[in-house]
Chains A and B, each alone.
Chain A
Amino acid sequence: MKSIVLAVAAAAGLAVTGAQAQDYPTRPITMIVPFAAGGPTDVVARIVTDHMSRTLGQQIVIENVAGAGGTTGITRGAQSQPDGYTIMMGHMGTHGAAPALYPNLKYDPAKDFAPIGLAAGTPILIVAKKDFPANDLKGFLEYMKTNSDKVNMAHAGVGSVSHSTGIFFNSVIKAKPTMVAYRGTGPALNDLMANTVDYMTDQIVNVAPQIQGGNIKAFAIATPERSPVLPDVPTTKEAGLEGYEVSAWNAAFAPKGTPPEIVKKLNDALVKALDDENTKKRLLELGGVIPSPAERTPEALQKLVESEVARWTPVLKAAGAAAE
């Protein structure tokens, strides 16, 4: 008897879902941003959803659920109803580095989501204090060969973008500096400007103003092309470093089981937002990279997640950087 009731309920549920998918969305959509309001991911989410809301005809409400390197919010999002009314903004950390950092992670980045699409890439820069005894990446690498033990590298805490990308950078250049942890990028930058620590890697939106203001030095940008925000900063390849191209990408996800028609509607709205001149301009001002049309599909995002997990896991495990 019980199973019949369940079967009927399930069938009714499916029918409702089908009808819902056609009219979707009929009420406001919640987007979980797994970081505090005002951070780089939050800013990207707000800029993109501003335009998406207009396309969908329903407001996308941002809910900031911060904690544990973004995994708290993503866990909640992964476990929510797959009806298209709860979506989330993941990033390089939550859908790339997290499996290596959090052994008790309650979700699988590659299996528990219905990817919607890539929203923006945020280039990573290698920056150093003003008084650093080198003026370009070549000089820096030269200096690191002999003085690696004297050098201090700052990062914004285990699980942060600057931490993961910094460990990766050190493994590429085979340096073993002393790592100094800060609670967030702000305090880390403060000490970098005060010449207390020597270098760090971080997202362009955080460091660009200080580079433009001459408070810190930029050695290279870890993207295939230079950024229009900092046209004088060479790419890592131009500066002679192979194998270090990273981006702190942000992408929209829905929980696994979200009807494909709904995912398509959301993806269409996202793509439309990325084609909008004003949205584009605002993302570019932040130093963001707009994904090419081929990179915007759910399939491309699924591939990206898989390749990122494969890339970060060995690097971070080797550095022993697990948050157990």
Chain B
Amino acid sequence: MGDFVSNLSLGFSVALSLQNIGLAFLGCLVGTLIGVLPGVGPIATIAMLLPITFGLDPVGALIMLAGIYYGAQYGGSTTAILVNIPGEATSVVTALDGHQMARQGRAGVALGIAAIGSFFAGTVATLVIAALGAPLTSLALIFGPTEYFSLMVMGLVFAVVLARGSILKAIAMILVGVLLSTVGLDLETGEERMTFGLPFLSDGIDFAVLAMGIFGIAEIMRNLDHTEHRDVVRQAIGRLLPNREDFRQSYLPVLRGTVIGAILGILPGNGAVLGPFASYTLEKKIAKDPRRFGRGAIEGVAGPESANNAGAQTSFIPLLTLGIPPNAVMALMVGAMTIHGIIPGPQVMTKNPSLFWGMIASMWIGNLMLLVINLPMVGMWVRLLKVPYRMLFPAILMFCCIGIYSINSLPTDVMFIALFGLVGYTLIKFGFEPAPMLLGFVLGKLMEENLRRALILSRGSLSTFIDHPVSAALLAVAAILLVIALLPSIRKGRDEVFTE
């Protein structure tokens, strides 16, 4: 305990220097502003802004980069709520209820609760990292291919529960998502699959491209074919901050989301993407009236946003304690650290304690900054919705194109969002929900790779999934969830849940 306090105070003494506070603020501000551009998520933002940190000392540079990361993450949620464009896999579920809230004139409340929930989750996650970072590292090592496959199976069961409307359509969409994820080079053999010999397909379809097309462009088309919805938003901007009733409804989802997100964030191979989905599923399952979900339920924003931010923080654990990045953003942080002459690894904690603890302390400061920056800005973002749609949508379209081009510098990506936009519009018109498809897409790749890896390692024996205790437990949970969902006796109740 004494260690804990002295470590943290060392951290805060580093992070609270005038220069570092300024850098944290700057990072969060720039990250938020760029992250608000549709499609420009944390990865693109950090990659773009990496060079401006070159002149700084390593601690300051990392504090600023971490700030950009949180800022961009939060900015992504803003676009998800305001214009229904999730910039990252983790903000897909925020778009579900967040955008509905915006349509009902509660955009300010949605943004507010997202900021407050994120701040709370960030605070808790920072403490978790400081207190338990080192011991929790072993969790990352328990999760091999076998366990990871079982976790993804559980994730797909979540996806079924997540669905609104016809369950058959939801399963169809999940499978389409899984199929889309198999496009590109096969990992084991290097053969191209379903690329039609087109070079730009050889690395598969980018998540941002799919999400922006299916959600963003399709949403613009839908808005253009019936304009009355937008008028509702324009007339009733409403309150900017959540009231007492909102808080009463949100505090438990925030708590649960924080726990779920923090645990899943530590897992290797981007376990954090499951956090918001898991939180949303849980809230929907235990809600008294699940029908509100997908129609602007505040719990559907509060829980996933907290899970998202908690996961974003705890995904630093494998990086800081092992030097192993669990996802693409953290891989970029590794590069940033190496460029600044710090090779991430287990020795960073002992060799550079001021850097290690300074960064952890700055995480909390970064979260505070986000709250300070974003709450006053909520009003500004909401006012954006007052802009007549005929003037707003060309701007959104343009930013979508710029954003998507900035990720891979590929012109084909820009054409792809147009194609997926058409597909998304058609799907919406036929009553298919795009969210399960995105989840299928995200999980499909991880699932297939880990399934094959696990089977290669077990030399083809399927019993490996039962022999590993963690994997067996996860599969059991998935099976139970599925049985509850499909059992005939509760089938009736379930149908009620899913009727429109």
Residues of A at the B interface (CB closer than 8 Å) are 36-39, 42-43, 46-47, 50, 62-68, 72, 75, 101, 152, 157-159, 178-184, 186-187, 189-191, 193-194, 196-197, 205, 208-210, 212-215, 282, 285-286, 321-324
Smallest CB separation, A12 vs chain B (Å): 29
Inter-subunit contact A322/B190 (CB<8 Å): yes
Complex CA gap A68/B204 in Å reads: 10
Inter-subunit contact A67/B144 (CB<8 Å): no
Closest to A191 in B: B144
Q: With a CB–CB cut-off of 8 A, which chain B residues contact A212?
A: 345-347
From A158, A191, A197, A213, give the contact of B185 (CB < 8 A). Answer: A158
Inter-subunit contact A190/B141 (CB<8 Å): yes
From B332, B344, B453, give the contact of A36 (CB < 8 A). Answer: B332
Q: With a CB–CB cut-off of 8 A, which chain B residues contact A47?
A: 339
Inter-subunit contact A194/B144 (CB<8 Å): yes
Inter-subunit contact A38/B335 (CB<8 Å): yes
Interface string of B298-342 (1 = CB under 8 A from A): 000000000000000000001000111110100111111011010
Residues of B at the A interface (CB closer than 8 Å) are 46-47, 50-51, 54, 140-142, 144-145, 185, 187-192, 199, 202-203, 268-269, 318, 322-326, 328, 331-336, 338-339, 341, 343-348, 408-410, 449, 453, 456-457, 459
Inter-subunit contact B47/A64 (CB<8 Å): yes
Closest to B330 in A: A186
From A152, A191, A282, give the contact of B341 (CB < 8 A). Answer: A282
Given the known interface contacts A189-B324, A194-B144, A324-B192, the answer about A68 and B185 at a Cβ–Cβ threshold of 8 Å is yes
Given the known interface contacts A43-B338, A186-B325, A210-B323, the answer about A65 and B141 at a Cβ–Cβ threshold of 8 Å is no
Inter-subunit contact A178/B456 (CB<8 Å): yes
Smallest CB separation, B217 vs chain A (Å): 23
Q: With a CB–CB cut-off of 8 A, which chain B residues contact A43?
A: 335, 338-339
Inter-subunit contact A152/B457 (CB<8 Å): yes
From B326, B333, B335, B409, give the contact of A42 (CB < 8 A). Answer: B335
From A38, A64, A196, give the contact of B336 (CB < 8 A). Answer: A38
Smallest CB separation, B324 vs chain A (Å): 5
Q: With a CB–CB cut-off of 8 A, which chain B residues contact A64?
A: 47, 409
Inter-subunit contact A209/B346 (CB<8 Å): yes
Closest to B319 in A: A186
* Seed contacts A64-B409, A66-B408; 12 additional CB < 8 Å A-B pairs: A38-B332, A39-B331, A43-B339, A181-B188, A186-B326, A186-B334, A190-B268, A190-B322, A191-B145, A210-B345, A321-B190, A324-B190
Q: With a CB–CB cut-off of 8 A, which chain A residues contact B54?
A: 46, 50
Smallest CB separation, B285 vs chain A (Å): 31
Given the known interface contacts A38-B336, A286-B338, A286-B343, the answer about A186 and B192 at a Cβ–Cβ threshold of 8 Å is no
From B142, B145, B199, B334, give the contact of A72 (CB < 8 A). Answer: B199
Complex CA gap A29/B334 in Å reads: 26
Inter-subunit contact B456/A180 (CB<8 Å): yes
Query: What 4 A-B pairs are tightest by C-beta distance, nearest first?
Result: A38-B335, A209-B345, A158-B190, A213-B346
Smallest CB separation, A124 vs chain B (Å): 17
From B145, B191, B408, B409, give the contact of A323 (CB < 8 A). Answer: B191
Q: With a CB–CB cut-off of 8 A, which chain A residues contact B269?
A: 187
Inter-subunit contact A180/B457 (CB<8 Å): yes
Given the known interface contacts A43-B338, A66-B408, A190-B140, the answer about A323 and B323 at a Cβ–Cβ threshold of 8 Å is no
Return 22 A-B CB contacts under 8 Å, by A number.
A37-B50, A37-B332, A37-B335, A38-B336, A46-B54, A64-B47, A66-B203, A75-B199, A101-B190, A180-B457, A183-B449, A186-B268, A190-B322, A193-B322, A194-B144, A205-B343, A209-B348, A213-B323, A282-B341, A286-B343, A323-B190, A324-B192
Smallest CB separation, B188 vs chain A (Å): 5
Max count, chain B CB within 10 A of own CB: residue among A38, A181, A208: A38
Q: With a CB–CB cut-off of 8 A, which chain A residues contact B326?
A: 186
Given the known interface contacts A67-B203, A209-B344, the answer about A46 and B339 at a Cβ–Cβ threshold of 8 Å is yes
Closest to B329 in A: A38
Inter-subunit contact B323/A197 (CB<8 Å): no
Closest to A64 in B: B47
Inter-subunit contact B339/A215 (CB<8 Å): no
Complex CA gap A98/B378 in Å reads: 50
Q: With a CB–CB cut-off of 8 A, which chain B residues contact A182?
A: 187, 453
Inter-subunit contact B347/A209 (CB<8 Å): yes
Q: With a CB–CB cut-off of 8 A, which chain B residues contact A215?
A: 322, 346
Smallest CB separation, A62 vs chain B (Å): 7
Complex CA gap A46/B52 in Å reads: 12
From A62, A180, A282, give the contact of B453 (CB < 8 A). Answer: A180
Max count, chain B CB within 10 A of own CB: residue among A178, A186, A323: A186
Given the known interface contacts A194-B141, A209-B344, the answer about A67 and B408 at a Cβ–Cβ threshold of 8 Å is yes
Inter-subunit contact B331/A209 (CB<8 Å): no
Q: With a CB–CB cut-off of 8 A, which chain B residues contact A183?
A: 187, 449
Q: With a CB–CB cut-off of 8 A, which chain B residues contact A190?
A: 140-141, 268, 318, 322, 324
Closest to B185 in A: A323
Complex CA gap A286/B337 in Å reads: 11
From A66, A159, A197, A210, give the contact of B346 (CB < 8 A). Answer: A210
Given the known interface contacts A36-B331, A39-B335, A205-B343, the answer about A324 and B145 at a Cβ–Cβ threshold of 8 Å is no
Complex CA gap A214/B350 in Å reads: 14
Q: With a CB–CB cut-off of 8 A, which chain B residues contact A213?
A: 323, 345-347
Inter-subunit contact B332/A193 (CB<8 Å): no
Inter-subunit contact B338/A205 (CB<8 Å): yes
Closest to A159 in B: B190
Inter-subunit contact B409/A65 (CB<8 Å): yes
Inter-subunit contact A68/B338 (CB<8 Å): no
Closest to A285 in B: B341
Inter-subunit contact A65/B346 (CB<8 Å): no
Given the known interface contacts A184-B331, A286-B338, the answer about A324 and B191 at a Cβ–Cβ threshold of 8 Å is yes
Q: With a CB–CB cut-off of 8 A, which chain A residues contact B185?
A: 68, 157-158, 323
From B140, B145, B199, give the contact of A196 (CB < 8 A). Answer: B145
Q: With a CB–CB cut-off of 8 A, which chain A residues contact B323?
A: 209-210, 213
Max count, chain A CB within 10 A of own CB: residue among B190, B335, B347: B190
Complex CA gap A242/B282 in Å reads: 59
Q: With a CB–CB cut-off of 8 A, which chain A residues contact B343?
A: 205, 208-209, 285-286
Complex CA gap A186/B325 in Å reads: 6
Complex CA gap A187/B54 in Å reads: 28
Inter-subunit contact B187/A158 (CB<8 Å): yes
Inter-subunit contact A197/B457 (CB<8 Å): yes
Q: With a CB–CB cut-off of 8 A, which chain B residues contact A286?
A: 338, 343
Smallest CB separation, A151 vs chain B (Å): 11
Smallest CB separation, A119 vs chain B (Å): 15
Smallest CB separation, A97 vs chain B (Å): 12
Inter-subunit contact B142/A194 (CB<8 Å): yes
Inter-subunit contact A196/B144 (CB<8 Å): yes
Smallest CB separation, A55 vs chain B (Å): 16
Inter-subunit contact B335/A323 (CB<8 Å): no
Smallest CB separation, A78 vs chain B (Å): 14
Q: With a CB–CB cut-off of 8 A, which chain A residues contact B345?
A: 208-210, 212-213
Inter-subunit contact A38/B268 (CB<8 Å): no
Closest to B46 in A: A37
Complex CA gap A190/B191 in Å reads: 25
Complex CA gap A189/B325 in Å reads: 10
Closest to A50 in B: B54
Complex CA gap A191/B450 in Å reads: 12
Smallest CB separation, B329 vs chain A (Å): 10
